[in-house]
């Protein structure tokens, strides 16, 4: 009975990925919450992954500032307007 209720760390981290995309069932939610409450490592995992993915989104914004060189633009114009 207890075994069925308890998630393993492997299952808990798996559910944490799933959770980003779909609503977990109530039983999944409960079991994940209980596991995270008890397990410091999985709690760290979830927190750290959230931090990492918030950076990946911002990294895109930084890359957005990349500029094309004047030569590249000239090359493009030549290819386009022949």
Partner 1 sequence: MLLGLFKIICFRMNENIYKIPDRAEWVDLYANKLYAYAFSRLRDHAAAEDMVQDTFLVALEKTGTFRGESTFETWLIAILRRKIVDHFRKIAKECSTSLNELNEMTESSFFTEKGKWLSEERPAHWSSSPMNELEQKELRRIISDCQSKLKTLQQTIFTLKYTEDISSEDICKELEISASNYWVILHRVRLQMRKCIEKNWFVK
Q: Which of residues 10-69 bind partner 1 (CB under 8 A)?
A: 10-11, 13-14, 17-18, 21, 41-42, 44-45, 48-49, 51-53, 55-68
Q: What is the DSSP string of 19-47?
A: HTTSPPPHHHHHHHHHHHHH-HHHHHHHH
Residues near partner 1 (CB under 8 A), total = 39
Contact 13, 41 (CB under 8 A): no
> Which residues would be at the binding site for partner 1 (CB under 8 A)?
8-11, 13-14, 17-18, 21, 41-42, 44-45, 48-49, 51-53, 55-68, 72-73, 76-77, 79-81
């Amino acid at each position: 009975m207890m075994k069925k209720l308890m998630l393993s760390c492997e299952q808990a981290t798996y559910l944490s990925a799933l959770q980003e995309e779909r609503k977990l069932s109530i039983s999944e939610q409960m079991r994940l919450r209980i596991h995270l409450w008890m397990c410091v490592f999985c709690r760290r995992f979830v927190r750290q992954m959230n931090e990492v993915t918030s950076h990946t989104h911002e990294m895109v914004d930084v890359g957005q500032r990349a500029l094309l060189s004047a030569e590249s633009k000239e090359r493009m114009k030549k290819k386009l307007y022949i």
